[in-house]
Structure 1
Amino acid sequence: MSSSKPVALITGASSGIGAVYANRLAERGYDLVLVARRVDRLHAISEKLTRQHGVEIRTLKADLTVENDLVSLEDLLRSDERIALLVNNAGNGKLSSTVDMCDVDANATLALNIVAPTRLARAVLPGFVKRNTGAIINIGSVMAFCTLPITTLYSATKSYLLTFSQGLKAELAETGVRVQAVLPAGTATEFYDHAGIPLSAFDQAAIMTTENLVDAALVGFDQGEDVTLPSVHDAGLWLAYENARSTLFGATQTGVPAPRYKRT
């Protein structure tokens, strides 16, 4: 890649949310590194966006559950100083009870939703901090604060990603580096096919298009939001949730058991 434009690296870029991010960021003038397992789709997206926007695009075939592929991506993030934005979009969400989920699906969920975004963030952050600029967008889920009998592991991993994002934001408060967590609700992607429940099983009125989701998330990013909930109309609900969480934590700092736990 030879141009002087900033580069955005997007994981899970072959379809859905990742593909729309590729389109929107190309519109904004970013050159792109698109990462996914389905390289044929990446090539098609790359050819289209190159024609439409005149950007340079590099496609990388990578399975982020495979150690060698993850290490190669870490090396790229550490070495390419043009990378200004990391979009951690790749994820997995097989819906099943903990007992019934097979080891392959459980391991993939942990690898894609926790291990990969953590390691990629750790790889890119030293350069961002050194240059005092850059951003990470972590694609989470509203299931970060809701657990159903078939979402136990998925919800737990998305809760981790939200907490990780908020922690990084606090760590980087005195720098020019930004972290945004995007928490979609139901979105029209191939997620549901992989999850084992068809999209048609849900109330279609509650399903957002990927285009609307990404456009809203980028507006939130432009507005400086650290956590963006594209489908939540009352922003006060998030503020109340965060205030309640802070109040609850403060109430733990007493060093004395609550009266209801008094031994009889």
Structure 2
Amino acid sequence: MTTIINMDPAREESNPMAASPSVLITGASSGIGATYAERFARRGHDLVLVARDRARMEALATRLRQESGVAIDILQADLTQPGDLAAVETRLRDDARIGILVNNAGANVGGSFIEQATDDVARIVALNTTALLRLASAVAPRFARAGEGAIINIGSVVGLAPEFNATVYGATKAFVLFLSQGLSLELAPRGVYVQAVLPAATRTEIWERSGADINTLPAVMEVGELVDAALVGFDRREAVTIPPLHDAAQWEAYQAARQAMLPGFWQEHAAARYQTARS
């Protein structure tokens, strides 16, 4: 079920990303994705909106065209379906106007791990990790050849905290963070910027869809504030942006502690604490 509408092929092709590159945003029908669309439209970027709900994307596109005068294409796709995912990959590979990918589409399912149906968690993994990976893989080689471009991957602080009791969702977000950091190390020298954004609880529809009551949470960030903060990090070219973290030194200490272990990993023998007495 892939539908493309409002295509506008007549664009200058001499240097498609020179001024304001187009932005492709997944999960663009509501919440974080729709807010990214609004913010990038205000900045003068043309958009490609990707989500399952075409009616909501059409309503958003109509409003943003009127408010900002940007061109907006709509690509209806369920990123858990191979055919739909392939269509978005093709668009990213072939459309040289797209210079920013916002990998935002994601979902969760309620309950503990032993309560969650295997098929349900497999769909979460497919959307939160496989689709995100494939879209980044589709566009990164073109960006690297061009020597410019940006990939924004929406992760979560849950990926840092198994204590939050969201085992599968948190594991997918840990994947997003690791992938983003690895891509940043690989692609930054080639002119490609990769940003991982780690929200905490944010007022979006993901809570209702997973059967959770957002009103029971102690603190919830509004989506506009989350995206605005993430874009400050984007403009600063941060590799990892954590909008709810007030003390940046905590993240720096976490990174320093992790990096301090790296030399110790290259060892011929097991650490003394794991060695048994030998006869």
- Give the 5 Å matches for 1:1-264: 1=8, 2-4=10-12, 5-148=20-163, 150-203=165-218, 206-264=219-277
In structure 1, C-alpha distance between the alignment counterparts of 2:114 and 2:217, rounded to whole Å: 24
2:5 is matched with which residue?
none
- In 2, distance between residues paired with 1:103 and 1:40? 31
Give me the TM-score of the superposition, normalised by structure 2.
Answer: 0.91
Q: Are the aligned partners of 1:6 and 1:31 in contact in 2 as well (CA < 8 Å)? A: yes
Residues 95 and 154 in structure 1, CA contact (< 8 A), matched pair in contact too? no
For residue 14 of structure 1, what is the amino acid of its counterpart? S
Number of residue pairs matched by the alignment: 262
CA offset at residue 198 of structure 1?
1.1
CA contact (8 A) 1:94 1:109 kept: yes
Q: Structure 1 106/161 Cα, relative in aligned 2: closer, same or farther at 3 Å?
A: same
**One-letter identity of the residue aligned with 1:237:** Q
C-alpha contact (below 8 Å) 2:158/2:164 kept by paired residues: no
Are 1:85 and 1:135, in contact at CA under 8 Å, matched by a contact in 2? yes
Give the secondary-structure state (helix, strand or coil) at the position aligned to 1:95. Answer: coil
Distance 1:29 1:143 in 2: 33
Q: Is the 8 A contact 1:140 1:184 kept in 2?
A: yes
Instruction: Name the Cα RMSD after superposition.
Output: 1.3
TM-score (norm 1): 0.96
Q: Is the 8 A contact 2:109 2:124 kept in 1?
A: yes
User: Take 1:63 and 1:171, find their aligned partners in 2: how far apart are those partners?
Assistant: 29
Residue range with higher mean Cα deviation, 26-35 or 145-154: 145-154
* Superposed CA offset, 1:70-108 (max 9, x none): 000011111000000000000011133222111232121
Amino acid paired to 1:97 = S
**3-state SS in 2 of match to 1:174:** helix
Cα deviation, 1:223-253, whole Å, max 9, x if unaligned, reads: 1101000011111111111111111232232
- Tell whether the 8 Å contact from 1:11 to 1:89 is kept in structure 2 after alignment: yes
How far apart in 1 are the matches of 2:147 and 2:270?
45
CA contact (8 A) 2:188 2:194 kept: no
Sort the Cα spacing of 1:224 and 1:149 in 2 relative to 1 into closer, same or farther, 3 A.
Answer: closer
Instruction: Spell out structure 1 runs of 4+ moving beyond 4 A.
Output: none
Report the counterpart of residue 3 of structure 2 in structure 1: none
Identity in percent? 48
